[in-house]
């Protein structure tokens, strides 16, 4: 049975080993000083003086923390500490020799210091080299994954150093690529730089690479996308060092590497936020997030919590998701005053009771039915939840004097061809109409698809790939705007700093993405070849689905804001009388049938052209 050596025992062993080398250095320095023979007086006191020297040097080494670091990770820092400790120790010994009148020649101190640096410093580095060699022998290079690192900067160097130090990770850095031509042919920790990004495919084949690590955290999102486009066809595992703004402490390590996701291929430059302005309207405020357990709602809760609200209220009909985000927030923000209310925006009495108990300052309205085909089959639910629910919430916020009301809308509200989009367009009308008669600032924020949200296409594709395919795409030409949930919510918070009331804010969604290409990229990132290993089939457009989405109505126009990713659509406001008449019409048909609901929607939303499939 192997005996486990504790950290305390190791320190004792290291002290004993260092003591041996201090005594050895003492004797060797004497021999080198007195080439004709060491004086008898010094020989007689050798062991006593050796013990005194060893005690002094051990105390100095302890002071410099040389017994607090692990020898298997000894590096330049430990060598520098050893040199400084050796010099400090010799200075102390010289002072003691004067005090106690010890007759050692001055040359002895110089030689002793050099020998301590060589013996004790070399001991630490030697221990590291021997230990690493033994580990490498136990971990055969044939069993290790051959790795190509993209980026020969600090991040790449740190990744390589960590792989070299930890053979148990099972990764062997083989080659580097970097776009700086001056680095070509150079080495980092023994790993050669053999080309630029355009050489990746060739090097993967020539060097039998099994894993690619993208280590360019300071690069722009465009550069990262370009590199990933070159890497995704190599059929190797792709891992990436997060961008600098995503690294909490700014330090790179193997633990922080993550698998490349399709989000990285679509990512944009980080959003520039007016943190202080956002803090002004959220700090010490009671904030309500409806649909707080959903994809967008939960991210709203995460980001709002960071701005120190007086109270954060999660309002959701689905208790499981509300419970999940509650636990997450309590762990992440232990000081947060958090309240979870289970209920529906369709319930006026529930909303009024909530606002009476918790005087709400800011509302983020994310509760809605968003699934297009399901709402085509269940138009009644879309009206009751998306339209009447928004009205109930807006009415309650208006009556209770809430400061701000921000509603999450969708690009499907523009020239809608489906019930869900039409219902969200009416919700926008409700918000704008209330703003015209209320002290509360009512605004809506309109954007496209968010990556990774519940019901979005990417989780569906992942499930289909995991099942071996096929991946289903409705049409080869269908395109959509995409944005990460985090970015969308950041911009929603930012609109609160710009809002004056009544606006429909439109977020810059970037370039539209072809869903077919998205499916192909996701298959490649999963290590498969599209159409060969994982097939893609086309199922036809679903009821209410368009080939492309729009972000603005023709007569809305657009107005820039100080944030280049946020625009304002020209408001089209209905009078309160018109809105009330529209809502009465919808109420009169909501319990009849789907055909009557669609006809009513066409009257309320003139741009609504229902799917005729």
Give the pLDDT of residue 247: 43
Q: Which residues contact 485 (CB under 8 A, 6 or more apart)?
A: 295, 296, 299, 450, 451, 452, 453
> Quick check: 412 and 425 in contact, CB under 8 A?
no
**Among candidate residues 407, 452, 478, the one with its CA nearest the CA of residue 264:** 452
Cα separation, 577 vs 597, whole angstroms: 21
Contact (CB, 8 A) for 607 and 416 = yes
- Residue 612, pLDDT score: 65
Question: Model confidence at 248, in pLDDT bands (50, 70, 90)?
Answer: very low
- Distance separating alpha carbons of residues 169 and 147, to the nearest angstrom: 12
Q: Which helix (H) or strand (E) holds 43?
A: helix 40-44
- The predicted pLDDT at position 276 comes to 85
Q: What string of DSSP letters covers 548-613? A: S--SS-TTT-EEE-SSTTEEEEPP-PPPHHHHHHHHHHHHHHTTT-HHHHHHHHHHH-TT------
Place of tokens 């990229």: 521
Q: Which of 443, 444, 441, 347 is nearest to 393 (CA)?
A: 347
Closest by CA position to 199, among listed 157, 152, 269, 267 = 152
Q: What is the pTM of this model?
A: 0.67
Q: Is the peptide bond before 357 cis (omega within 30 degrees of 0)?
A: no
Which of 20-24, 252-256, 595-599 comes out lowest in average pLDDT?
252-256
User: What is the reported pLDDT for 478?
Assistant: 87
Task: Give Cβ neighbours of residue 138 (< 8 Å, ≥ 6 apart).
Answer: none
- Cα–Cα distances in Å, from 13 out to 8, 17, 65, 87, 374? 9, 6, 16, 23, 70
pLDDT of residue 355: 97
SS3 540: coil
241 vs 251: which has the higher pLDDT: 241
Tens of pLDDT, residue by residue over 132-172, are: 665 555 555 567 889 999 999 888 888 888 888 788 788 89
CATH topology of domain 141-260: Rossmann fold (3.40.50)
Closest alpha carbon to 444 in 460, 461, 431: 431
The gap between the terminal CA atoms of the chain, to the nearest Å, is 75
More confident residue, 168 or 9: 168
Residue entry with tokens 């709402």? 375
Whether 85 shows a pLDDT value over 90: the answer reads no
For β-strands 513-514 and 471-473, DSSP reports them as unpaired
Inform me whether the pLDDT recorded for 418 exceeds 80.
yes
Tokens 């017994």 correspond to 67
Mean pLDDT of 578-606: 93
Is the predicted pLDDT of residue 321 greater than 50, yes or no?
A: yes
Range 311-326 average pLDDT: 96
pLDDT score recorded for residue 130: 64
| pLDDT for position 453 | 63
Q: Any bridge partners for residue 562, and if so which? A: none
| Identical fold, 141-260 and 275-450+483-509+550-604 | yes
Highest mean pLDDT among 7-11, 31-35, 53-57, 257-261: 53-57
Over residues 28-45, the mean pLDDT reads: 82
Please tell me the predicted confidence (pLDDT) of residue 1.
41
Q: Where are the domains of the chain?
A: 7-137, 141-260, 275-450+483-509+550-604
Identify the band that residue 8 occupies on the pLDDT scale cut at 50, 70 and 90: low
* 132 C-beta neighbours (distance < 10 Å), count: 16
Q: Average pLDDT of 358-387?
A: 95
Q: Mean pLDDT highest for which of 51-60, 91-100, 373-382? A: 373-382
Lowest average pLDDT, out of 23-27, 331-335, 449-453, 519-523, goes to: 449-453
Q: Does residue 122 register a pLDDT over 90?
A: no
Q: What is the pLDDT of residues 543-588, one digit of tens each?
A: 766 676 655 444 455 677 777 778 887 767 788 899 999 999 999 9
The rounded percent of the chain whose pLDDT value lies above 90 is: 37
What residues are annotated to the active site? 412
Per mean pLDDT, which range of 63-77, 217-231, 331-345, 434-448 is the poorest? 63-77
The predicted structure's pLDDT at residue 505: 87
- For 2-21, what is the mean pLDDT? 70
| Residue 249 pLDDT class (50, 70, 90 cuts) | very low
How far is C-alpha 371 from the chain's CA centre? 27
How far is the C-alpha of 537 from the C-alpha of 517, rounded, in Å? Answer: 13
pLDDT for residue 369 is more than 80 = yes
Question: Quick check: helix, strand or coil at residue 426?
Answer: helix
Distance between CA atoms of residues 327 and 301, nearest Å: 12
Q: Phi, psi (5° rounding) for residue 290?
A: -85, 150
Rounded to an integer, the average pLDDT of 586-597 is 92
Give the residue with greater pLDDT, 494 vs 542: 494
pLDDT of residue 13: 76
Q: In a 10 Å sphere around its CB, with 0-12 CB exposed, 13-18 middle and 19+ buried, how is residue 150 labelled? A: buried
Pairing status of strand 513-514 against strand 479-480: antiparallel
Beta bridge partners of 213: 149, 239
- Domain 275-450+483-509+550-604 indexed as CATH 3.20.20.10: no
Judge whether residue 4 has pLDDT over 50: no
Residue 258 in this model has a pLDDT that exceeds 60: yes
In degrees and rounded to multiples of 5, residue 315 shows phi and psi of: -120, 120
pLDDT the model gives residue 553: 46
Residue 306 in this model has a pLDDT that exceeds 60: yes
- pLDDT band for position 70 (50/70/90)? low
What is the rounded CA–CA span in Å between residue 156 and residue 129? 22
By three-state DSSP, how is residue 31 classified? helix
Nearest alpha carbon to residue 191 among 228, 150, 240, 224: 150
Q: What is the mean pLDDT of residues 312-319?
A: 96
Residue 112 has pLDDT above 50, yes or no: yes
Rounded distance between C-alpha atoms, residue 443 and residue 446, angstroms = 10
* Among the listed residues 226, 294, 228, the one whose alpha carbon sits nearest the alpha carbon of residue 522: 228
């Amino acid at each position: 049975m192997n005996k486990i050596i504790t950290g305390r025992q190791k320190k004792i062993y290291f002290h004993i080993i260092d003591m041996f080398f201090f005594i050895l250095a003492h004797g060797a320095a004497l021999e080198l000083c007195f080439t004709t023979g060491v004086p008898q007086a010094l020989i007689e006191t050798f062991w006593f003086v050796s013990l005194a020297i060893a005690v002094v040097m051990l105390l100095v080494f302890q002071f410099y923390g040389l017994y607090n670091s692990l020898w298997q990770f000894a590096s330049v820092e430990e060598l520098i500490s050893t040199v400084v400790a050796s010099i400090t120790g010799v200075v102390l010994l010289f002072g003691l020799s004067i005090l106690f009148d010890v007759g050692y020649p001055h040359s002895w101190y110089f030689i002793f210091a050099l020998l301590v640096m060589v013996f004790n410093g070399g001991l630490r580095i030697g221990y590291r080299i021997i230990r690493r060699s033994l580990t490498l022998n136990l971990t055969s290079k044939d069993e290790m994954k051959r790795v190509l690192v993209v980026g020969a900067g600090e991040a790449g160097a740190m990744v390589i150093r960590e792989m070299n130090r930890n053979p148990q990770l099972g990764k062997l850095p083989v080659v580097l690529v970097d776009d700086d031509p001056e680095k070509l042919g150079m080495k980092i920790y023994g790993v050669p730089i053999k080309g630029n990004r355009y050489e990746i495919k060739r090097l993967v084949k020539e060097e039998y690479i099994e894993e690619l690590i993208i280590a360019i955290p300071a690069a722009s999102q465009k550069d990262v996308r370009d590199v990933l486009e070159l890497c995704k066809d190599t059929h190797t595992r792709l891992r990436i060092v997060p961008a600098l703004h995503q690294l909490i402490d700014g330090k790179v390590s193997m633990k922080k590497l993550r698998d490349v996701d399709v989000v990285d291929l679509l990512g944009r430059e980080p959003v520039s936020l007016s943190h202080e302005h956002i803090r002004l309207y959220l700090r010490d405020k009671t904030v309500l997030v409806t649909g707080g357990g959903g994809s967008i709602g939960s991210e709203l809760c995460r980001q709002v919590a960071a701005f120190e609200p007086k109270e954060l209220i999660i309002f959701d009909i689905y208790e499981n998701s509300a419970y999940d985000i509650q636990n997450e927030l309590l762990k992440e923000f232990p000081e947060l005053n958090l309240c979870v209310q289970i209920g529906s925006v369709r319930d006026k009495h529930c909303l009024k009771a909530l606002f009476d108990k918790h005087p709400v300052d800011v509302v983020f309205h994310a509760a809605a039915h968003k699934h297009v085909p399901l709402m085509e089959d269940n138009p009644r639910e879309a009206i009751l939840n998306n339209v009447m629910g928004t009205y109930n919430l807006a009415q309650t916020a208006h009556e209770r004097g809430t400061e701000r009301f921000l509603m999450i809308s969708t690009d499907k509200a523009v020239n809608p061809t489906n019930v869900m989009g039409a219902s969200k367009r009416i919700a926008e009308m409700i918000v704008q109409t209330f703003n015209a008669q209320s002290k509360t600032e009512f605004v809506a924020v309109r954007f496209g698809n968010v990556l990774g949200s519940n019901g979005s296409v990417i989780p569906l594709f992942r499930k289909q790939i995991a099942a071996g395919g096929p991946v289903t795409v409705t049409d080869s030409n269908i395109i959509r705007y995409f944005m990460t949930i985090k970015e969308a919510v950041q911009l929603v918070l930012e609109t609160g700093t710009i809002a004056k009331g009544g606006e429909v804010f439109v977020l810059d969604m970037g370039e539209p993405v072809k869903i077919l290409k998205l499916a192909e990229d996701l298959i490649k990132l999963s290590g498969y070849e599209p159409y060969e290993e994982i097939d893609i089939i086309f199922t036809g457009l679903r009821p209410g689905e368009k080939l492309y989405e729009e972000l603005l109505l023709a007569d809305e126009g657009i107005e820039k804001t100080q944030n280049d990713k946020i625009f304002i659509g020209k408001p089209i406001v209905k009078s309160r009388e018109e809105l009330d008449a529209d809502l009465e019409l919808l109420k009169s048909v909501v319990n009849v049938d789907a055909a009557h609901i669609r006809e009513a929607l066409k009257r309320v939303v003139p741009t609504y052209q229902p799917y005729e499939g």
